[in-house]
Structure 1
Amino acid sequence: MPKKVITFGEVMMRLSPPGYEKFSQANSFELVYGGGEANVAISCAYLGMKAAHVTRFPDNALGKAATQFLRKHWLSTEHIFYGDHMIGKYFLEKGAVHRSSEVIYEREGSSFSLIKPSMVNWENVLKDADWFHWTGITPAISEGAYLCCLEAIKTANKMGITVSGDINSRNNMWKYGKTMQEVIPTLVQHCDVVITSSYGIREMFGLGQHEDKFKDLAIILMNQFPNIKKVVKKTRRTLSASHNQIQGKLWNGQSYIKSDMLNITHIIDRVGTGDAFAAGLIYGLLHYDDEQAIEFASAACALKHTVPGDVNMVSLENVQSLMDGEASGDIKR
C-alpha cells in the first residue's frame, strides 16, 4: 500500500519571460503554477506515493485552472476550498552564469491569505495519512493561515501522523502583526522532522552562537524542543548561477550523517529545488534508513535542477539511479 502525504500552503501563478530573458526584454510570459508545499506533494506523487494538497483558490476560472494543474500532476484535490477572487502570483526572471535570478511577489489579499481554521476539518483531511508537511512560508502569509497550520499540526500529532516542517522563512513577509520569532516556535515544538539551516536556528529561535556548526545547533534545537527527532539541512555551494554543488546533512540525536556532494554543472531551473529535497527526504524516511534517506533527498534535489518549472517531475527510478552513481545522462532505451 503506497504511503500517503498531505501538504498545506498557497499555490501561486508563476509568470516568467521566455528562456533567460530579462523582464525588460519580455513581450510574453510563460505560465505555470507552483507553491512550496504543493511542489512537495507533487514530487511525492511522482515518486509513487499517494498525495493530497490542501489550499484555497479564488472561485473563478483561474482557481479552476490551478486545480486542474494539481490534478494533472497526480494530486488529490478533494480538500481544496474556493472563495474570494485573487490568486497569488510571482514573476521569475531566470538568472544565468553570473547573473542571479530575480523574483517579484504579488500575493497580498489572495484567496489563500484569507483562509480561516473553521474552513478545514483536519481530522477528515488527515484520515489515512502517514505524513503532514508544512513550510515557514505558510504561517507568514496571514494570521488565518498560521492558525490553520497550527490546527493541522496538532491534529496530526493527535492522530499519530509524522509532521515535518521546512522552516526557512523571510522576515519581509510577516506583515500581520506577528513575527516569525513569535510564531515559528509554536509550530516547531509539535514537529518530528525539521528542515532548516544554521542561520534559521539562530534567527528564528535565538539559539547558539554565530560560530556554532550545524550539528551543534541541531543538538541545541532538539534539546529545546524534545519532540523533534531529526534536524536536516541542505547545503548549497554556488559557483555560478549555472553551476552549484548540493549536500544533505541530518542529525538524528545520535548520528550526524552527510550525503555525497553532488555537482550540478548545467542548471536549467533552480526554483523548487528545496521542495524537491523535502519530498525526497519524506520519501526516504518512510522507506529507508537515515543514511539512505539523506542520499535520496540530495539526489532528488539535484535532479530538480534539470527540470523546468516549480515541480520535480522525476520518477523513483531516476532518483535511485543517481543514488547508485549513474550520472552520465545516457539515453534510457
Structure 2
Amino acid sequence: MPKKVVTFGEVMMRLSPPGYSMFSQATSFDLVYGGGEANVAISCAYLGMKAEHMTRFPDNALGKAATQFLRKHWLSTVNIVYGDNMLGKYFLEKGASYRSSVVIYEREGSAFSLIQPSMVNWEHVLKGADWFHWTGITPAISEGAAMCCLDAVRTAKKMGLKVSGDINSRDNMWKYGKTKQEIIPELVKHTDIVTSSTRGIFEMFGLGELGGKFKKSAKLLMDEFPNIEKVVGKKRKSISASHQKIHGKMWNGKKYLKSKNLDISHVIDRVGTGDAFAAGIIYGLLHYDDDLQALNFASAACALKHTVPGDVNMVSLENVISLMEGDTSGAIKR
C-alpha cells in the first residue's frame, strides 16, 4: 500500500515572461500554479506516493482552475475549502548566466490568507495519512493561517503521523503583528523532521552563529527541541544563475551525514528545487532504512528539478534512483 502525505499551504498563480525574457520585454506571460507545500505533494505523487494538498481557493473560475491543476498532477483535492474571490499570484522573471531571477508577489487579501481554523477538520483531512508537511511560509501569511497550521501539526502528532517542517521563512512576509520568533517555535515542538540552514536556525531561534557549522547549529536545535529526530538542509554553490552545485546534509542525533555533490551545469528553472528536496527527504525516510540513502535520494530529486520548467518536480522514481546511483549521462531512455 503506497504511503500517503498531506501538505498545507497557499497555491498561487505563477506568471512568467516566455523563455528568459525580462518583464520589460514581455507582451504575454506563461501561466502555471505553484506553492511550496503543494510542490512537495506533487513531487511525492510523481514518486508513486498517495498525496493530498489542503488549501483554500477563491470560489470562482480561478479557484476551480487551480484545483484542476492539482488534480492533473494526481493530488487529492477533496478537502479543499472555498471562499472569497482572490487567488494569490506571483510574477517570475527567470535569470540566466550572470542575471539573477526576480520574483514579485501579490498575495495580500487572498482567499488563503483569510483562512480560519474553524474552516478545517484536521482529523478528517489527516485520516489514513502517514506524513504531514508544512513550511515557514504558511504561518507568515496571516494569523489565521498560522493558527490553522498549528492545529494541523498538533492533530497530526496526536494521530501518530510523522511531521516535517521546512522552517526557513522570509522576514518581509510577517505583516500581521506577530514575528516568526513568536510563532515558529510552537510549530517546531510538534515536528519530527526539520529542514533549515545555519542562518535559519540562528535567525529564528538565536542558536549557533551566522556562518557557523551546520552540525553545531543542528545539535543546538535538537537540544532545544528534543522531539526533533533529524535536522536536514542543502548546500548550494551558485556559479551563475545557469550553473549550480548542490549537496544535502543531515544531523540525525548521532552522526553528521553529507550526500554526494551534484553539478547542475544547465539550469532550466531553479524555483521549487527546495520543495523537490523536501519531497525527496519524505520519500527517502519512508522507504529507506539508511539515512544517507534517504539524503542522497533527496539531493538527486533536488538536482533533477533544476531541469524541469515550472514550480513542480515531475520526474519519476526511476529518474531519481538512476541519478542517485550515479548515472549522470542524460542518455535517451528507449
Q: Same fold (TM over 0.5)?
A: yes
Amino acid at match of 1:173: M
Mapping of residues 26-41 of structure 1, within 5 Å: 26-41=26-41
Query: Which residue number in structure 1 is paired with residue 58 of structure 2?
Result: 58
Tell me, what secondary structure is at the counterpart of 1:15?
strand
Query: Which residue number in structure 1 is paired with residue 332 of structure 2?
Result: 331
Distance 2:246 2:265 in 1: 11
Query: Which residue number in structure 2 is paired with residue 2 of structure 1?
Result: 2
Amino acid at match of 1:63: G
Tell me, what secondary structure is at the counterpart of 2:307?
coil
Provide, for residues 269-298 of structure 1, a one-character-per-residue CA deviation record: whole Å limited to 9, x for no partner. 000000000000000000012110000000
- CA RMSD in angstroms comes to 0.5
Distance 1:270 1:179 in 2: 28
State the Cα distance separating 1:211 from its structure 2 match: 4.9
Query: Which residue number in structure 2 is paired with residue 240 of structure 1?
Result: 240
Amino acid at match of 1:281: I
Judge conservation of contact 2:199–2:209 (CA < 8 Å) in 1: no
Tell me, what secondary structure is at the counterpart of 2:246?
strand
Query: Which residue number in structure 2 is paired with residue 298 of structure 1?
Result: 299
Tell me, what secondary structure is at the counterpart of 1:208?
coil
Judge conservation of contact 2:136–2:167 (CA < 8 Å) in 1: yes
Provide, for residues 225-251 of structure 1, a one-character-per-residue CA deviation record: whole Å limited to 9, x for no partner. 000000001110000000000100010
State the Cα distance separating 1:86 from its structure 2 match: 0.1
Percentage of identical aligned residues: 77
State the Cα distance separating 1:212 from its structure 2 match: 2.8
Distance 1:242 1:102 in 2: 14
State the Cα distance separating 1:317 from its structure 2 match: 0.2
TM-score norm. by structure 2 comes to 0.99
Distance 2:259 2:266 in 1: 21
State the Cα distance separating 1:189 from its structure 2 match: 1.2
Query: Which residue number in structure 1 is paired with residue 20 of structure 2?
Result: 20
Query: Which residue number in structure 2 is paired with residue 307 of structure 1?
Result: 308
State the Cα distance separating 1:255 from its structure 2 match: 1.1
Aligned residues: 333
Judge conservation of contact 2:193–2:232 (CA < 8 Å) in 1: yes
Amino acid at match of 2:212: D
TM-score norm. by structure 1 comes to 0.99
Query: Which residue number in structure 2 is paired with residue 229 of structure 1?
Result: 229
Distance 2:71 2:331 in 1: 31
Q: Which runs of 5+ in 1 are unaligned?
A: none
State the Cα distance separating 1:112 from its structure 2 match: 0.1
State the Cα distance separating 1:137 from its structure 2 match: 0.2
Given the superposition, is the C-alpha separation of residues 211 and 85 from structure 1 closer, same or farther in structure 2, using an over 3 Å criterion?
closer
Query: Which residue number in structure 2 is paired with residue 76 of structure 1?
Result: 76
Provide, for residues 249-276 of structure 1, a one-character-per-residue CA deviation record: whole Å limited to 9, x for no partner. 0100001110000000000000000000
Amino acid at match of 1:112: F
Mapping of residues 1-333 of structure 1, within 5 Å: 1-288=1-288, 289-333=290-334
Tell me, what secondary structure is at the counterpart of 1:64?
helix
State the Cα distance separating 1:208 from its structure 2 match: 1.7
Judge conservation of contact 2:198–2:211 (CA < 8 Å) in 1: no
State the Cα distance separating 1:108 from its structure 2 match: 0.1
Given the superposition, is the C-alpha separation of residues 207 and 132 from structure 1 closer, same or farther in structure 2, using an over 3 Å criterion?
same
Amino acid at match of 2:209: Q
Provide, for residues 190-222 of structure 1, a one-character-per-residue CA deviation record: whole Å limited to 9, x for no partner. 100000000000000011233531000100000
Distance 2:66 2:235 in 1: 32
Distance 1:93 1:2 in 2: 37
Distance 2:190 2:80 in 1: 24
State the Cα distance separating 1:332 from its structure 2 match: 0.3
Distance 1:42 1:109 in 2: 26
Distance 1:228 1:259 in 2: 21
Q: Which runs of 5+ in 2 are unaligned?
A: none
Amino acid at match of 1:169: S
Tell me, what secondary structure is at the counterpart of 1:200?
helix
Q: Which runs of 4+ in 1 moved over 4 A?
A: none
Tell me, what secondary structure is at the counterpart of 1:95?
coil
Provide, for residues 108-150 of structure 1, a one-character-per-residue CA deviation record: whole Å limited to 9, x for no partner. 0000000000000000000011000000000000000000000
